[in-house]
Structure 1
Amino acid sequence: MIFKENNIYINVKDFSVSGESFSLLENVEYGILKTTPTPSLEQLPSYYESEDYISHTDGSRTFFEKIYQRVKKYAIQSKVQLISNFATKGALLDIGAGTGDFLVAAQKQGWHVLGLEPNKKAKTIAKSKGIPFGENLKLIPDQSYDVITMWHVLEHVPDLDYQLEQLKRICKPGGIIVIAVPNYKSYDAKHYKEFWAAYDVPRHLWHFSATSIRKMFSEKNIGLLKIKPMWFDSFYVSLLSEKYKSGKMNPVKAFYIGFASNVYGIFKKEFSSHIYVLKNN
């Protein structure tokens, strides 16, 4: 994919860690944005060094974190049900497993699970829950998993083409790949513009639309089976976006924008975040 330096979609700021500014370059054909300048592999870990990065903790310190953890429990059960709808129980690999709660729930339902997670703190928490971990994606055997999941992880991956090749290699023929990512064509993204929290630069190196997911995976002979909305993401993202925009979360306004985004999604098929269910042909 080619990204021209002058084809800037929007300029955004890292509100949660560094305060640095970045540009998002657009490839119109693929419907995808790329964060630039792109941090080096050595620089990237420093952008995750924040107590507010709650996907790497089990924190319930604040009202916001308590709501996040409560919604997460419901969402996890929904995710386990989703993969069970598309595949019989077998081997499940979760890339970017975080603190391991999804794999704990899947394991209880009879899945044989393995996690991959680069963050040491999150991995330590997950291991304390009894979740086994692999060390490296390259060491996973060919055609060894019935289902591979990446819940809000693909946007963090430095080498996108390499990641897709590895998914193709590891997934069994006829196996299922589940990808969840934010959608920059949603109503809340358009409303909040440069304050949209799901841009989350530079941790999010890529910003996807349904077009980009369909095109990229199709090139690897991986077909799109279904797109499902992540209903709660619009509210969560709107709360953070309000904080970035005004300095306060403004829960009433955030709820209104989140609700409006879901209504927009029903009619336009563009939700705040999408789950893509794909099949390895």
Structure 2
Amino acid sequence: MGNITASVFQFDVIRGNISENRSIVMEALEQCPSGLVVLPEMWSCGFDYKNLKAHALVSEEILKDLSDMARRRSLVIVGSLPVFERGNIYNVAHVMDADGRLAGIYRKTHLFTAGGEGKGFAAGSSADVFETMAGPVGVMICYDLRFPELARTLMDKGARILAVPAQWPAARRTHWQTLARARAIENQLFVVAANRCGEDGELSYPGCSLIVSPTDQVLVDMGEGPGLATAELDFSLMDDYRKAIPCLKERRPEVYTP
């Protein structure tokens, strides 16, 4: 598998304003080089709990736009939107492949109950890896980063990239940076993590979107402002590093069982 270009886009998500957020994201996607691009969590509307169902009903229309954009710009697009299904609202990451096909969806598994997510969303219950033109992609959403078991499961299922849409607050900025790097190091894969920036009520968001290599090279750290950043992902580096330090092969699961 050859190298690919990966991009992260961060911006100040305006709570409840789908029209403005959609316009900002579509304009950014027009500027993306071909390859993978990761958008923030709940980028269409933010955590507008009062109107969440109404926002969820617009997501299907947004996905049509993403499909057209992916096909036209040869992009693999990952970002999360609210989705209403079976009487519940889920925080769903859609993996749109570069041919406009929906490669798969991931429903956020770990809800940040300290922030009230359990009151607005139902939790997903599966971890899947999606075959895309950028390679096998596993997805984690924001709070999921705190659960190494999920990242390890995705690696075991063949993920070579972990895509992470997020709305991670500035108060725990160092946790965001450390956990993203840890997931890359311990699983010897690439982490492409897009976090929002700006303000929403009393919460401040730092951006600091990251692209991290399997060897803990921070290829991108965007800092606080809105924008788009890219890096080349060299998969031969991943393969060579896994051979040089074969910790994934030297695990002993029989010892870890409670």
User: In proportion to residue count, which structure has more helix?
Assistant: 1
TM over 0.5: no
Max radius of gyration: which structure? Answer: 1
TM-score, normalising length from structure 1? 0.36
TM-score, normalising length from structure 2? 0.39
User: In proportion to residue count, which structure has more strand?
Assistant: 2
